[in-house]
């Protein structure tokens, strides 16, 4: 397939996941507690372990601040009754065609899925990942699935990564804000090795790390949360670069997803500065942190006018554009217009890299 325009970070939100996915796919003893759609105060909502999930409305969001790109564009979220069943890729492909997108990388729901029972969560993530692999198999050259890994036990994380690699999923989400150990911990060494061997891209996606802001409209909390979220990946990035994982596993590839660009150059400079000034003799690396970053790490963005000016400081081969379909801040269905208007200061070759070639290379789509 000839690729010309690729989105490196889109989502399969709870609204578009089949309502009976988990009930139908988990073993019988887990079905009562598993996520399922039920009527709660007059709305269809996702409930899990008997309690509603936050932001778990099944259908069009009634909060204008959270209304996704599809209803905002005046399109129907569910084109026909019962559309959201296991075989629904054609509607997503139609939306991609409307936006001129040749392929997209599909993450799961943006918020951490809330479970009290880690065993139940691992079973449910396994069921979701299997379904996602089936979904993407309908158009494997256009739909690139990112598995959600269980993070309560590094051994379980490795097992699931190896399983989803065999299913054909090309990426896997490392949930840094729910992980049993910090990124630098030696317990993750088998995961780095497994991902490198299988050629699975590991993603650190924004989702947490803020102290106080919440999805709450009072006193500007939503605005504060959305504004601060991208920069919460600074610490995981530093931990990854300084712990030696990238030296130990040269084939390991990691992407900071939906992280934005503007803050990256300062952090790269800061890490190099501290490494040269204080830590070169105690932290054993084969190169400066910024050099390791450019060998192994990618970062995706949606809209970042400042960051676009700083691409030479980041590396034009390390930047990935994304539409963030179908979220409220998505550029869908006007992504090409966004590129034309906001990237006109870049050369055609650089635009081609960040809107196509870098993602194709990262996920080995060629």
Higher pLDDT, 29 or 68: 29
pLDDT tens by residue, 43-58: 888 899 999 887 666 6
pLDDT-derived band of residue 312, with 50, 70 and 90 as boundaries? very high
Q: How many CB atoms lie within 10 A of CB 205?
A: 25
d(CA 42, CA 15) in angstroms, rounded, equals: 16
Contact 261, 312 (CB under 8 A): no
| Residue 310 covered by a domain | yes
Q: What is the pTM of this model?
A: 0.93
pLDDT tops 70 at residue 157: yes
Average confidence (pLDDT) over 277-285: 94
| Residue 21 covered by a domain | no
Structural domain that includes position 176? 6-14+76-362
CATH number at residue 294: 3.20.20.140
| Residue 306 covered by a domain | yes
pLDDT-derived band of residue 61, with 50, 70 and 90 as boundaries? very low
Candidate from 86-90, 195-199, 296-300 with smallest mean pLDDT: 86-90
Contact 54, 48 (CB under 8 A): no
Hey, what's the torsion of the CAs at 314, 69, 177, 277, to 10 degrees? 10
| Residue 128 covered by a domain | yes
Query: What does pLDDT average to over the chain?
Result: 91
Question: How far is Cα of residue 198 from the mean position of the Cα atoms in its chain?
Answer: 19
pLDDT tops 60 at residue 6: yes
pLDDT tops 80 at residue 212: no
d(CA 232, CA 211) in angstroms, rounded, equals: 10
Q: How many domains are there within the chain?
A: 1
254 three-class SS: strand
pLDDT-derived band of residue 293, with 50, 70 and 90 as boundaries? very high
Candidate from 22-36, 94-108, 217-231 with smallest mean pLDDT: 217-231
| Residue 54 covered by a domain | no
| Residue 320 covered by a domain | yes
| Residue 31 covered by a domain | no
| Residue 222 covered by a domain | yes
């Amino acid at each position: 397939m000839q690729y010309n325009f690729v989105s490196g970070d889109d989502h399969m939100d709870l609204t578009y996941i089949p309502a009976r996915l988990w009930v139908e796919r988990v073993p019988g003893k887990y079905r009562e507690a598993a996520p399922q759609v039920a009527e709660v105060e007059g709305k269809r909502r996702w409930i899990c372990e008997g309690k509603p999930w936050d932001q778990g409305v099944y259908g069009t969001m009634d909060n204008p601040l959270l209304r996704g790109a599809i209803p905002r564009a005046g399109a129907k979220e569910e084109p026909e009754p019962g559309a959201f069943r296991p075989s629904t890729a054609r509607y997503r492909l139609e939306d991609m065609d409307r936006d001129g997108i040749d392929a997209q990388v599909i993450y799961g729901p943006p918020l951490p899925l809330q479970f009290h029972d880690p065993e139940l969560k691992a079973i449910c993530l396994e069921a979701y990942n299997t379904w996602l692999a089936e979904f993407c198999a309908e158009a494997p050259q256009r739909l690139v699935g990112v598995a959600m890994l269980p993070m309560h036990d590094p051994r379980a994380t490795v097992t699931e990564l190896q399983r989803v690699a065999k299913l054909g999923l090309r990426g896997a989400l490392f949930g840094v804000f729910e992980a049993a150990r910090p990124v630098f911990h030696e317990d993750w060494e088998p995961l780095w090795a497994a991902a490198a061997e299988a050629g699975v891209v590991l993603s650190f996606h924004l989702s947490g790390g803020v102290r106080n802001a919440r999805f709450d409209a009072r006193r500007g909390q939503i605005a504060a949360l959305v504004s601060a979220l991208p920069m919460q990946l600074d610490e995981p990035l530093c931990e990854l670069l300084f712990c030696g994982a990238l030296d130990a596993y040269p084939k390991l590839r990691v992407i900071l997803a939906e992280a934005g660009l503007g803050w990256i150059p300062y952090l790269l400079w800061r890490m190099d500065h501290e490494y040269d000034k204080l830590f070169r003799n105690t932290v054993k690396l084969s190169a400066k942190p910024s050099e390791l970053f450019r060998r192994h790490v990618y970062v995706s963005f949606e809209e970042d006018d400042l960051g676009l000016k700083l691409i030479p400081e980041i590396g034009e081969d390390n930047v990935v554009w994304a539409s963030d379909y179908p979220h409220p801040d998505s550029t869908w269905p006007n992504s090409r217009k966004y590129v034309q208007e906001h990237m006109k200061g870049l050369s055609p070759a650089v635009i081609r890299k960040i809107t196509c070639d870098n993602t194709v290379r990262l996920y080995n789509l060629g």
